[in-house]
Amino acid sequence: MKRRRVGRVATISMHTSPLDQPGTGDAGGMNVYIVEAAKRLAQLGIEVEIFTRQTARDLPPVAEIAPGVSVRHVTAGPYEELDKGDLPGQLCAFLSGVLRTEATYDPGRYDVIHSHYWLSGQVGWLAKERWGVPLVHTMHTMAKVKNLLLAEDDRPEPAARVCGEEQVVEIADRLVANTPTEARELVDLYGAAPGRVEVVNPGVNLTVFQPGSKETSRHRLGLPRDARVLLFVGRVQPLKGPDVLLRAAARLLVEDPSLRGRLVVACVGGPSGNGLARPSYLTDLAVHLGISDVVRIVPPAPQHELADWYRAADVTVVPSHSESFGLVALESQACGTPVAAASVGGLRTAVRDGVSGVLVDGHDPHDWAQVLRRFVREHAWCDTLSAGAVTQAAAFGWSATAARLAEVYAGAMANLHRSPIAVNS
């Protein structure tokens, strides 16, 4: 029997483009995941075509971002950014564009579909049935999980999303979970068949994110050499909990006023999701707390500059209420900076408590202040965690992620066609 090979993957990312700057709008860890995994899959000989919604008139129909990796812009709705809540109304238009693209080629162009986020899963569901290929789906975030762990100012995810996710879970040939915790949530909350759930850890770009001189990074960023730097990186929205960091920092200054001259609280990212309704929230909160003199609000940064922020920090604070994995935590550790993270979701996998950082139960600013006080005062302890952080991050590379994804694709194809499948090498 002729052996089938995984040759080309149709990756679907409807609501956010892999070309967008992470930390803005809806762009975040998922964007990094799609791009980095695609590049490593291409290195394995697997071509990746990424379908995403066109958000500007001057974007080319197809853009190559690396050898073997291309982005296809599909016209669906107005070019300006749409709220994710409005995107379900563009599913038909987006699906039509995806199907029309495939129809211009000979049958069998794609061997597998990999959809990201539930909206893309809906598109993948219909494309799978039209093309006769397996659907692999990655949730990235799940409505039922988010609704169980809502921040105080956050809105619950709508019933339509819950229903859409349930449909995708039922139809997908394989479900990729970032961690064993997420795998259990898929089974327990969504009734996923355990045999169709595969755990594939995301990775980190160990070439970009690596240890370096704290002094040099601080000089490039205009930070004092003797500062104590608390860093938040990510989209500014209630889910990510940046307010927890600011409230904890305010407590630190009340307890130790002498710290005010050296403390820097840097927040790198832009408003997103529910945070778009209050774009000046962090600035206003800093004023309300009386700490605006120590808070720096920094726009989203490209990876090389982000690496400098990690290296310049004494600790990266990740106080998310829900997190499927937490790439920020991994990037920080790869740069040798330990992490203080909420003990939720994938952060329990990304961070080794007491070895590469500290996991904090709950979101009480008092508890976070106690943890951050140690990072500010105990230099030897920080150095020990820094070494552990580098070791922890070294175990996660995108090449390993891509290799596991290739295995998942091959398994899904074998199950669908009942024939041996080979992964390109």
Residue numbers in the known binding site for Mg(2+) are 310-311, 313, 337
Burial of 188 (0-12, 13-18, 19+ CB in 10 A): exposed
List the 69-74 sheet strands across, edge first: 62-66, 69-74, 47-53, 8-12, 112-116, 135-138, 174-177, 197-199
**DSSP symbol at 64:** E
Annotated binding site: 15, 21-22, 26-31, 84, 117, 141, 161, 235, 240, 310-311, 313, 323, 331, 337
Asked if 69 contacts 22 with a C-beta cutoff of 8 angstroms, the reply is: no
Annotated binding site for 1D-myo-inositol 3-phosphate: 15, 26-31, 84, 117, 141, 161
Asked if 359 contacts 348 with a C-beta cutoff of 8 angstroms, the reply is: yes
The Cα-based distances of 33 to 38, 110, 291 in angstroms read: 8, 21, 35
**DSSP symbol at 293:** T
- Rg from Cα positions in the chain: 22
Encoded amino acid at 151, one letter? A
**Residues 6+ positions from 19 with CB-CB distance below 8 Å:** 52, 63, 65, 71
Asked if 270 contacts 236 with a C-beta cutoff of 8 angstroms, the reply is: yes
**DSSP symbol at 346:** T
Q: Would you put residue 394 in left (φ > 0), alpha (ψ -120 to 50) or beta? A: alpha
Asked if 339 contacts 316 with a C-beta cutoff of 8 angstroms, the reply is: yes
Annotated binding site for UDP-N-acetyl-alpha-D-glucosamine: 21-22, 29, 235, 240, 323, 331
